[in-house]
Homo-oligomer: A and B are copies of this chain.
Amino acid sequence: MTTRGRSVVPSAAESHPPLRVALLGCGVVGTQVARLLTEQADDLASRVGARLELVGIAVRDAAAPRDAAIDRSLLTEDAEGLVARADVVVEVMGGTEPARALLLRAIEAGAAVVTANKALLAEDGPTLYKAADAAGVDIYFEAAVAGAIPIVRPVRESLAGDHVRRVLGIVNGTTNYVLDQMATTGMGLEEAVKEAQDLGYAEADPTADVEGYDAAAKAAILASLAFHTRVSLDDVAREGIMSVTAADVAWAAQTGHVIKLLAIAELRDGTSAGGSAGVSVRVHPALVPTSHPLANVRGSFNAVFVEAESAGELMFYGRGAGGAPTASAVLGDVVSAARHRVLGGKGPQESTYAELAILPASAAVTRYQVRLDVDDRPGVLAQVAHALAEHGVSIEAVRQPTAPGGADAEGGVAELLITTHAAPESALAATVAAVAGLDPVRTITSVLRVEGA
Q: Are A448 and B364 in contact (CB under 8 A)?
A: no
Q: What does the 1/0 interface line of A48-67 toward B look like (CB < 8 Å)?
A: 00000000000000000000
Question: Which of the candidate stretches A69-77, A93-101, A280-288 sits at the interface with the other chain?
Answer: A280-288
Q: Are A357 and B159 in contact (CB under 8 A)?
A: no
Q: A194: CB under 8 A from chain B? A: no
For A148, the chain B residues whose CB sits under 8 A away are 308, 310-312, 314
Question: Which of the candidate stretches A200-208, A338-346, A431-439 sits at the interface with the other chain?
Answer: A338-346
Q: Are B405 and A250 in contact (CB under 8 A)?
A: yes
Q: Are B5 and A359 in contact (CB under 8 A)?
A: no
Q: Are B289 and A453 in contact (CB under 8 A)?
A: yes
For A291, the chain B residues whose CB sits under 8 A away are 298
For A178, the chain B residues whose CB sits under 8 A away are none
Q: Are B156 and A255 in contact (CB under 8 A)?
A: no
A416 CB to nearest chain B CB (Å): 12
| CB nearest neighbor in B for A223 | B358
Q: What does the 1/0 interface line of A315-333 toward B look like (CB < 8 Å)?
A: 1111100101101111111
Q: Are B275 and A363 in contact (CB under 8 A)?
A: yes
Q: Are A354 and B227 in contact (CB under 8 A)?
A: yes
Q: Are A452 and B294 in contact (CB under 8 A)?
A: yes
Q: Which of A40, A44, A112, A275 has the most CB of B within 10 A?
A: A275
The contact sample of 15 A-B pairs, CB cut-off 8 A, is: A44-B161, A160-B331, A230-B352, A250-B404, A273-B423, A278-B356, A278-B363, A280-B364, A282-B361, A287-B369, A288-B453, A292-B453, A311-B318, A311-B325, A345-B345
